[in-house]
Amino acid sequence: MKVLMALSGGVDSSVAAAELLRDGHEVVGITMRLWGGESDTGCCSVADVDDARRVAQQLGIDHLVFNFTDDFDEHVVAPYVQAHREGLTPNPCIECNRHLKFHRLSERADLLGFDAVATGHHARIVEHEGVRYVARGEDPAKDQSYVVHMLPQRELARTLFPIGHLTKAQVRERATGMGLRTADKPDSQDVCFITHDGGRTAFLGSRIPFRPATVVDATDGSPVGRVESIEMVTLGQRRGLGLPGGGPKTYVVDIDHAAAVVTVGDESLLQTESLQAHQVAWAHRPVQGRVLVQSSAHGVPAAATIFLPADDNGSRVHLRWDEPQRRVAPGQSVVFYDPTDTFVLGGGIAR
Protein backbone atom coordinates (compact mmCIF):
# COMPACT_ATOMS: atom_id res chain seq x y z
CA MET A 1 0.00 0.00 0.00
CA LYS A 2 1.22 3.50 -0.83
CA VAL A 3 1.16 5.58 2.36
CA LEU A 4 1.66 9.31 2.88
CA MET A 5 3.31 9.54 6.32
CA ALA A 6 3.12 12.80 8.29
CA LEU A 7 6.64 13.36 9.67
CA SER A 8 6.62 16.01 12.40
CA GLY A 9 10.27 15.70 13.33
CA GLY A 10 9.50 13.85 16.57
CA VAL A 11 10.25 10.32 17.70
CA ASP A 12 6.67 9.07 17.36
CA SER A 13 6.27 9.87 13.66
CA SER A 14 9.81 8.65 12.99
CA VAL A 15 9.07 5.21 14.42
CA ALA A 16 5.63 5.18 12.79
CA ALA A 17 7.30 5.56 9.39
CA ALA A 18 9.72 2.75 10.23
CA GLU A 19 6.81 0.50 11.29
CA LEU A 20 5.11 1.10 7.94
CA LEU A 21 8.28 0.17 6.07
CA ARG A 22 8.67 -2.96 8.18
CA ASP A 23 5.13 -3.97 7.22
CA GLY A 24 6.01 -3.67 3.55
CA HIS A 25 4.29 -0.43 2.62
CA GLU A 26 5.59 2.10 0.13
CA VAL A 27 6.12 5.20 2.27
CA VAL A 28 6.65 8.86 1.45
CA GLY A 29 7.20 11.33 4.27
CA ILE A 30 5.47 14.68 4.35
CA THR A 31 6.14 17.57 6.69
CA MET A 32 3.59 20.36 6.90
CA ARG A 33 4.96 23.84 7.20
CA LEU A 34 2.14 25.39 9.19
CA TRP A 35 3.24 28.45 11.10
CA GLY A 36 5.10 31.17 9.26
CA GLY A 37 5.91 33.27 12.31
CA GLU A 38 8.37 32.95 15.16
CA SER A 39 8.35 29.53 16.81
CA ASP A 40 10.52 27.85 19.41
CA THR A 41 8.08 25.17 20.58
CA GLY A 42 5.75 22.49 19.27
CA CYS A 43 6.04 21.04 15.79
CA CYS A 44 6.50 24.14 13.62
CA SER A 45 10.11 25.13 14.15
CA VAL A 46 12.81 25.00 11.48
CA ALA A 47 14.64 22.40 13.59
CA ASP A 48 11.63 20.07 13.48
CA VAL A 49 11.45 20.25 9.68
CA ASP A 50 15.17 19.49 9.53
CA ASP A 51 14.79 16.54 11.90
CA ALA A 52 11.98 15.15 9.74
CA ARG A 53 14.10 15.46 6.60
CA ARG A 54 17.06 13.70 8.20
CA VAL A 55 14.90 10.88 9.56
CA ALA A 56 13.51 10.36 6.06
CA GLN A 57 17.10 10.12 4.80
CA GLN A 58 17.95 7.56 7.50
CA LEU A 59 14.92 5.48 6.55
CA GLY A 60 15.58 5.82 2.83
CA ILE A 61 12.22 7.37 1.94
CA ASP A 62 11.32 10.44 -0.08
CA HIS A 63 10.46 13.54 1.92
CA LEU A 64 8.13 16.35 0.87
CA VAL A 65 7.40 19.66 2.56
CA PHE A 66 3.98 21.23 1.97
CA ASN A 67 3.29 24.83 2.83
CA PHE A 68 -0.09 25.16 4.55
CA THR A 69 0.59 28.41 6.38
CA ASP A 70 -2.46 30.18 4.93
CA ASP A 71 -4.76 27.31 5.93
CA PHE A 72 -3.20 27.20 9.39
CA ASP A 73 -3.76 30.90 9.90
CA GLU A 74 -7.37 30.67 8.69
CA HIS A 75 -8.45 27.55 10.58
CA VAL A 76 -6.26 27.58 13.69
CA VAL A 77 -4.60 30.91 14.52
CA ALA A 78 -7.42 33.29 13.60
CA PRO A 79 -10.09 31.24 15.46
CA TYR A 80 -7.73 30.99 18.46
CA VAL A 81 -7.45 34.77 18.62
CA GLN A 82 -11.17 35.31 18.05
CA ALA A 83 -12.06 32.81 20.77
CA HIS A 84 -10.05 34.77 23.32
CA ARG A 85 -11.68 37.97 22.13
CA GLU A 86 -15.06 36.36 22.89
CA GLY A 87 -14.02 35.02 26.29
CA LEU A 88 -13.63 31.37 25.27
CA THR A 89 -10.83 28.89 26.00
CA PRO A 90 -9.94 27.29 22.64
CA ASN A 91 -8.00 24.11 21.88
CA PRO A 92 -5.86 24.95 18.81
CA CYS A 93 -4.19 21.53 18.59
CA ILE A 94 -7.55 19.84 18.03
CA GLU A 95 -8.47 22.36 15.32
CA CYS A 96 -5.09 21.77 13.69
CA ASN A 97 -5.79 18.03 13.62
CA ARG A 98 -9.31 18.62 12.32
CA HIS A 99 -8.46 20.99 9.48
CA LEU A 100 -4.79 20.40 8.66
CA LYS A 101 -3.23 17.17 9.85
CA PHE A 102 -6.06 15.03 8.57
CA HIS A 103 -8.38 16.91 6.21
CA ARG A 104 -5.70 18.71 4.18
CA LEU A 105 -3.37 15.71 4.40
CA SER A 106 -6.14 13.48 3.07
CA GLU A 107 -6.84 15.90 0.23
CA ARG A 108 -3.18 15.93 -0.75
CA ALA A 109 -3.06 12.14 -0.59
CA ASP A 110 -5.98 11.99 -3.04
CA LEU A 111 -4.24 14.41 -5.37
CA LEU A 112 -1.00 12.42 -5.36
CA GLY A 113 -2.58 8.98 -5.62
CA PHE A 114 -1.85 7.55 -2.16
CA ASP A 115 -3.90 4.74 -0.68
CA ALA A 116 -3.64 5.87 2.95
CA VAL A 117 -2.32 8.52 5.28
CA ALA A 118 -0.53 7.88 8.58
CA THR A 119 0.50 9.88 11.63
CA GLY A 120 2.45 9.19 14.80
CA HIS A 121 -0.48 9.64 17.18
CA HIS A 122 -0.84 7.28 20.11
CA ALA A 123 -4.25 5.99 19.09
CA ARG A 124 -5.73 3.03 17.26
CA ILE A 125 -8.55 2.40 14.80
CA VAL A 126 -10.90 -0.46 15.62
CA GLU A 127 -13.99 -1.88 13.99
CA HIS A 128 -17.13 -2.47 16.03
CA GLU A 129 -20.30 -3.86 14.46
CA GLY A 130 -18.99 -2.97 11.00
CA VAL A 131 -18.14 0.65 11.94
CA ARG A 132 -14.66 2.12 12.38
CA TYR A 133 -13.81 4.14 15.47
CA VAL A 134 -10.79 5.88 16.96
CA ALA A 135 -9.71 3.84 19.99
CA ARG A 136 -7.38 4.53 22.86
CA GLY A 137 -3.67 3.89 22.34
CA GLU A 138 -1.79 1.17 24.20
CA ASP A 139 -0.05 3.63 26.52
CA PRO A 140 -2.61 5.27 28.85
CA ALA A 141 -0.18 8.05 29.77
CA LYS A 142 0.31 9.01 26.11
CA ASP A 143 -3.12 8.20 24.68
CA GLN A 144 -4.12 10.80 22.05
CA SER A 145 -7.56 9.56 21.05
CA TYR A 146 -8.98 12.76 22.60
CA VAL A 147 -7.19 15.03 20.11
CA VAL A 148 -8.13 12.95 17.03
CA HIS A 149 -11.74 12.31 18.04
CA MET A 150 -13.21 14.21 15.08
CA LEU A 151 -12.32 11.77 12.29
CA PRO A 152 -15.33 10.74 10.14
CA GLN A 153 -15.76 7.35 8.51
CA ARG A 154 -14.14 8.37 5.22
CA GLU A 155 -10.92 9.39 6.92
CA LEU A 156 -11.02 6.50 9.39
CA ALA A 157 -11.11 4.14 6.43
CA ARG A 158 -7.80 5.42 5.08
CA THR A 159 -5.92 6.53 8.20
CA LEU A 160 -3.20 4.49 9.92
CA PHE A 161 -1.78 4.93 13.43
CA PRO A 162 1.30 2.67 13.22
CA ILE A 163 2.45 3.12 16.83
CA GLY A 164 -0.95 2.92 18.54
CA HIS A 165 -0.12 -0.58 19.77
CA LEU A 166 3.16 0.56 21.38
CA THR A 167 3.96 2.28 24.66
CA LYS A 168 6.12 5.38 24.60
CA ALA A 169 9.00 3.41 26.13
CA GLN A 170 8.74 0.86 23.30
CA VAL A 171 8.72 3.66 20.71
CA ARG A 172 11.94 5.10 22.11
CA GLU A 173 13.51 1.64 22.34
CA ARG A 174 12.80 1.03 18.65
CA ALA A 175 14.10 4.45 17.69
CA THR A 176 17.30 3.82 19.64
CA GLY A 177 17.69 0.38 18.10
CA MET A 178 17.47 1.90 14.60
CA GLY A 179 19.78 4.77 15.50
CA LEU A 180 17.20 7.39 14.62
CA ARG A 181 18.29 10.95 15.42
CA THR A 182 14.97 11.63 17.16
CA ALA A 183 15.26 8.74 19.65
CA ASP A 184 15.93 10.99 22.65
CA LYS A 185 14.09 14.07 21.44
CA PRO A 186 11.66 15.43 24.07
CA ASP A 187 7.94 15.46 23.33
CA SER A 188 6.35 18.71 22.19
CA GLN A 189 4.16 20.12 24.96
CA ASP A 190 3.18 23.61 23.91
CA VAL A 191 1.12 25.40 21.28
CA CYS A 192 3.53 25.73 18.37
CA PHE A 193 2.86 29.39 17.59
CA ILE A 194 3.26 30.58 21.19
CA THR A 195 6.91 31.26 22.05
CA HIS A 196 8.47 30.64 25.45
CA ASP A 197 9.71 34.21 25.75
CA GLY A 198 6.54 36.10 24.93
CA GLY A 199 3.95 33.53 25.85
CA ARG A 200 0.22 33.79 25.30
CA THR A 201 0.04 37.36 26.60
CA ALA A 202 2.49 38.74 24.04
CA PHE A 203 0.94 36.74 21.20
CA LEU A 204 -2.63 37.85 21.87
CA GLY A 205 -1.67 41.36 22.98
CA SER A 206 -0.25 42.09 19.54
CA ARG A 207 -3.48 40.97 17.85
CA ILE A 208 -6.40 42.08 20.02
CA PRO A 209 -6.95 44.91 22.53
CA PHE A 210 -6.95 43.74 26.13
CA ARG A 211 -9.75 44.97 28.40
CA PRO A 212 -9.36 45.29 32.16
CA ALA A 213 -11.99 43.67 34.37
CA THR A 214 -13.17 43.93 37.95
CA VAL A 215 -12.75 40.85 40.14
CA VAL A 216 -15.63 40.34 42.58
CA ASP A 217 -16.36 37.91 45.41
CA ALA A 218 -19.02 35.28 44.68
CA THR A 219 -20.53 35.54 48.15
CA ASP A 220 -21.59 39.18 48.05
CA GLY A 221 -20.39 40.66 44.75
CA SER A 222 -17.93 42.98 46.45
CA PRO A 223 -14.85 44.05 44.44
CA VAL A 224 -11.67 42.26 45.53
CA GLY A 225 -9.27 43.11 42.74
CA ARG A 226 -8.71 43.83 39.09
CA VAL A 227 -7.18 42.02 36.11
CA GLU A 228 -5.57 43.82 33.21
CA SER A 229 -7.02 41.56 30.51
CA ILE A 230 -10.25 39.60 30.82
CA GLU A 231 -9.28 37.83 27.59
CA MET A 232 -6.54 36.01 29.51
CA VAL A 233 -8.83 34.68 32.26
CA THR A 234 -10.14 31.10 32.18
CA LEU A 235 -12.89 29.40 34.15
CA GLY A 236 -11.34 27.51 37.07
CA GLN A 237 -8.19 29.65 37.09
CA ARG A 238 -6.59 30.18 40.50
CA ARG A 239 -3.27 31.92 39.89
CA GLY A 240 -2.39 35.13 38.09
CA LEU A 241 -5.39 37.10 39.34
CA GLY A 242 -3.44 39.56 41.43
CA LEU A 243 -5.37 38.76 44.59
CA PRO A 244 -3.80 38.97 48.06
CA GLY A 245 -2.53 35.65 49.43
CA GLY A 246 -2.94 34.07 52.81
CA GLY A 247 -6.66 33.34 52.71
CA PRO A 248 -8.66 30.39 51.43
CA LYS A 249 -8.02 29.27 47.87
CA THR A 250 -10.25 31.03 45.37
CA TYR A 251 -11.01 30.15 41.77
CA VAL A 252 -12.58 31.88 38.81
CA VAL A 253 -16.17 30.64 38.96
CA ASP A 254 -17.76 32.97 36.40
CA ILE A 255 -16.66 35.35 33.65
CA ASP A 256 -19.05 38.03 32.40
CA HIS A 257 -17.19 39.11 29.31
CA ALA A 258 -19.69 41.76 28.26
CA ALA A 259 -19.71 43.45 31.67
CA ALA A 260 -15.96 42.92 32.22
CA VAL A 261 -16.50 41.19 35.56
CA VAL A 262 -14.65 38.13 36.86
CA THR A 263 -16.20 36.32 39.82
CA VAL A 264 -14.06 34.30 42.21
CA GLY A 265 -15.09 31.91 44.94
CA ASP A 266 -14.76 28.50 46.51
CA GLU A 267 -13.90 25.55 44.28
CA SER A 268 -17.26 23.96 45.12
CA LEU A 269 -18.94 26.64 43.01
CA LEU A 270 -17.35 25.08 39.91
CA GLN A 271 -19.31 21.86 40.35
CA THR A 272 -22.18 21.19 37.94
CA GLU A 273 -24.61 18.39 37.14
CA SER A 274 -24.85 19.00 33.38
CA LEU A 275 -23.04 20.26 30.31
CA GLN A 276 -24.04 21.58 26.89
CA ALA A 277 -21.89 20.90 23.83
CA HIS A 278 -22.21 22.07 20.22
CA GLN A 279 -20.40 21.53 16.92
CA VAL A 280 -20.51 17.82 17.70
CA ALA A 281 -18.74 15.47 15.29
CA TRP A 282 -19.81 11.82 15.38
CA ALA A 283 -17.73 8.86 14.28
CA HIS A 284 -20.82 7.22 12.81
CA ARG A 285 -24.21 8.53 13.90
CA PRO A 286 -25.56 10.56 16.86
CA VAL A 287 -25.70 8.60 20.09
CA GLN A 288 -28.02 8.88 23.07
CA GLY A 289 -27.62 7.19 26.42
CA ARG A 290 -24.74 6.15 28.60
CA VAL A 291 -21.20 7.28 27.75
CA LEU A 292 -17.91 8.21 29.36
CA VAL A 293 -16.81 11.81 28.81
CA GLN A 294 -13.28 13.20 28.78
CA SER A 295 -12.86 16.98 28.90
CA SER A 296 -9.08 17.41 28.58
CA ALA A 297 -6.26 15.65 26.78
CA HIS A 298 -5.29 13.54 29.79
CA GLY A 299 -8.34 13.98 31.98
CA VAL A 300 -10.12 11.19 33.82
CA PRO A 301 -13.32 10.13 31.99
CA ALA A 302 -16.57 10.60 33.89
CA ALA A 303 -19.87 8.77 33.39
CA ALA A 304 -22.77 10.70 31.89
CA THR A 305 -25.92 10.35 29.83
CA ILE A 306 -26.30 12.04 26.46
CA PHE A 307 -29.61 13.60 25.43
CA LEU A 308 -30.17 14.85 21.88
CA PRO A 309 -32.47 17.84 21.26
CA ALA A 310 -35.50 16.79 19.23
CA ASP A 311 -35.08 19.70 16.82
CA ASP A 312 -31.42 19.05 15.99
CA ASN A 313 -29.47 16.71 13.72
CA GLY A 314 -26.97 15.72 16.39
CA SER A 315 -24.76 18.80 16.26
CA ARG A 316 -25.80 19.70 19.82
CA VAL A 317 -26.04 17.53 22.91
CA HIS A 318 -27.04 17.89 26.54
CA LEU A 319 -25.06 15.83 29.07
CA ARG A 320 -26.13 14.94 32.56
CA TRP A 321 -23.32 13.72 34.81
CA ASP A 322 -23.81 10.69 37.05
CA GLU A 323 -22.04 12.68 39.76
CA PRO A 324 -21.36 16.44 39.81
CA GLN A 325 -18.24 17.40 37.87
CA ARG A 326 -16.06 20.46 37.61
CA ARG A 327 -17.39 22.79 34.93
CA VAL A 328 -15.60 22.70 31.58
CA ALA A 329 -14.38 26.04 30.28
CA PRO A 330 -16.47 27.15 27.26
CA GLY A 331 -14.48 26.50 24.09
CA GLN A 332 -12.83 23.31 25.33
CA SER A 333 -13.49 19.97 23.64
CA VAL A 334 -15.46 17.20 25.32
CA VAL A 335 -15.08 13.71 23.87
CA PHE A 336 -17.55 10.84 24.26
CA TYR A 337 -16.30 7.26 24.69
CA ASP A 338 -18.30 4.05 24.72
CA PRO A 339 -19.21 2.75 28.21
CA THR A 340 -16.20 0.41 28.21
CA ASP A 341 -13.86 3.40 27.66
CA THR A 342 -12.38 1.77 24.57
CA PHE A 343 -13.33 3.86 21.53
CA VAL A 344 -14.58 7.31 20.59
CA LEU A 345 -18.23 7.84 19.69
CA GLY A 346 -17.87 11.56 18.99
CA GLY A 347 -17.04 14.88 20.52
CA GLY A 348 -17.98 18.53 20.61
CA ILE A 349 -17.17 21.90 22.16
CA ALA A 350 -18.39 22.94 25.60
CA ARG A 351 -20.67 25.96 25.78
Domains of the chain: 2-120+162-178 (3.40.50.620), 209-265 (2.30.30.280), 270-350 (2.40.30.10)
Q: Any residues with CB less than 8 A from the CB of 140 and at least 6 apart, and which?
A: none
> What stretch of H or E contains 291?
strand 289-294
H-helix segments, the chain: 11-22, 46-59, 69-72, 78-85, 92-96, 105-112, 153-156, 168-178, 199-205
pLDDT in single tens digits along all 351 residues of the chain: 999 999 999 999 999 999 999 999 999 999 999 987 765 555 556 788 899 999 999 999 999 999 999 999 999 999 999 999 999 999 999 999 999 999 999 999 999 999 999 999 999 999 999 999 999 999 999 999 999 999 999 999 999 999 999 999 999 999 999 999 999 998 876 688 888 777 899 999 999 999 999 999 999 999 999 999 999 999 999 988 888 776 788 999 999 999 999 999 999 999 999 999 999 999 999 999 999 999 999 999 999 999 999 888 889 999 999 999 999 999 999 999 999 999 999 999 999
Q: What is the pLDDT of residue 64?
A: 96
The three-state secondary structure class of 306 is strand
What single string gives the DSSP state of each residue in 213-270? EEEEETTT--EEEEES-GGG--TT--SSS---SSS---EEEEEETTTTEEEEE-GGGG
Whether 100 contacts 32, CB under 8 Å: yes
Pairing state of beta strands 213-217 and 261-265?
parallel
Whether 124 contacts 136, CB under 8 Å: yes
Q: What is the pLDDT of residue 349?
A: 97
Specify the DSSP class assigned to residue 62: E
Quick one: how many helices (H) and strands (E) in the chain?
A: 9, 17
Catalytic site positions: 96, 192
Cα–Cα dist 18/45, whole Å: 23
Whether 262 contacts 230, CB under 8 Å: yes
Cα→Cα distances 48→43, 163, 180, 194, 212, Å: 6, 20, 14, 15, 38
Q: What is the pLDDT of residue 126?
A: 97
Q: What is the pLDDT of residue 189?
A: 67
Give the pTM. 0.93
